[in-house]
């Protein structure tokens, strides 16, 4: 049996984090959801896990950048989806590292569609 794609979701807003996690799990993804990039990094190191995709929302929290930079340095081959506000200035290193960037407004379905492109589920 093949392993499910493992997604790390970093979303500061609890309702959005819960909703997106539920949508992805319903489709069959294994999801570890965290409020901050530093918490995600600690979780991954503690359990020795390697994500297939990191999804991070930077719309409301610019303080995520330092923790996110360390996290993606630890997982240089992991795909990265960045969610951001339309007026958010993203550093060049993040623009170059991200596989995709979605700027608001977008729907949860848009995020799920991009996740399925970056970490496709295997049909059984």
| Any domain includes 123 | no
Identify the pLDDT of residue 124.
41
| Any domain includes 1 | no
| Cα 31 to Cα 41, 103, 105, distances in angstroms | 14, 22, 23
| Any domain includes 81 | yes
| Any domain includes 124 | no
Could you tell me the CATH number of the domain that includes residue 19? 3.40.50.2300
| Any domain includes 29 | yes
Report the distance separating Cα 102 and Cα 53, nearest Å. Answer: 15
Identify the pLDDT of residue 63.
73
93 alpha carbon, distance to own chain's centre: 17
| Any domain includes 2 | no
Report the distance separating Cα 55 and Cα 106, nearest Å. Answer: 14
Identify the pLDDT of residue 100.
98
- Sorted by sequence, the CB contacts under 8 Å of residue 97 that are 6+ apart come out as 72, 80
Quote the number of domains for the chain. Answer: 1
Bond preceding residue 4 cis, omega within 30 of 0? no
| Any domain includes 23 | yes
Give tens-digit pLDDT for 101-124: 999 999 999 999 999 999 998 654
| Any domain includes 36 | yes
Identify the pLDDT of residue 60.
66
Per residue of the chain (124 residues), give pLDDT as tens.
456 899 999 999 999 999 999 999 999 999 999 999 999 999 999 999 999 999 999 976 667 888 999 999 999 999 999 999 888 889 999 999 999 999 999 999 999 999 999 999 865 4
For 46, the domain range is: 7-117
Helix ranges restricted to H, 1-85: 14-27, 37-47, 64-74
């Amino acid at each position: 049996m093949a392993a499910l794609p493992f997604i790390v979701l970093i979303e500061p807003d609890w309702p959005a984090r819960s909703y997106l996690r539920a949508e992805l799990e319903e489709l069959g993804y294994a999801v570890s959801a965290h409020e901050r990039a530093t918490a995600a990094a600690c979780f991954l190191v503690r359990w020795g896990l390697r994500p297939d995709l990191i999804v991070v929302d930077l719309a409301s929290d610019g303080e995520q950048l330092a923790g996110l930079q360390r996290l993606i340095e630890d997982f240089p081959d992991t795909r990265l989806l960045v969610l951001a506000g339309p007026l958010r200035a993203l550093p060049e290193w993040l623009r170059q590292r991200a596989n995709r960037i979605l700027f608001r407004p977008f729907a949860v379905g848009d995020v799920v569609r991009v996740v399925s492109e970056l970490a496709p589920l295997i049909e059984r």
